[in-house]
Amino acid sequence: MNEDIKTREDIEKLMKSFYEHVLNDMIIGFIFNDVAEFELDSHLPVITDFWESVLFGSGKYGGRNRVMDVHLELNKKVRLKRGHFTRWLFLFNKSVDGMYEGLYAENIKQKASGIANAMQKRLQLVECSNVT
């Protein structure tokens, strides 16, 4: 039995594992590697702050509006489709399930699902508003 997510260090380990899967993924890896030119070392503290704030209410992440802006800009470069979000969520849940179990592990998966759904809806609204 795995332990639950308890600390910032647990979140950081989870994010390292998750992004290793993402960066090597045949379906969405290109978005991170080629389009976003994602660098794990610089992103890791930011994404750890984000999830620590979401999961534990730490308040360390201050870029709330920036998250959507980044994805809107990315969507201009490559259209983000439902399948991309589905794959992202699959890899996220797989990473969580492979390392942790418990209340916080379930909570982070639920939050990730909600975030993925909200982003998809927002991107669709933006696309619809650009059609005239």
- CATH number at 72 reads 1.10.490.10
> pLDDT, tens digit, for every residue of 69-120?
888 888 899 999 999 999 999 999 999 999 999 999 999 999 999 999 998 8
Query: Could you tell me the two tokens for 13?
Result: 């380990």
> What is the distance between the alpha carbons of residues 7 and 123, in angstroms, rounded to a whole number?
32
Binned at pLDDT 50, 70 and 90, residue 51 comes out as: very high
Domain region containing 67: 8-129
Give start and end residues of each alpha helix (H) in 1-132.
8-23, 29-30, 40-56, 64-77, 82-99, 103-129
The answer to whether position 62 is within a domain reads yes
The answer to whether position 1 is within a domain reads no
What pTM, to 2 d.p., does this model score?
0.89
CB 55 within 8 A of CB 107: yes
| Residue 130 DSSP code | T
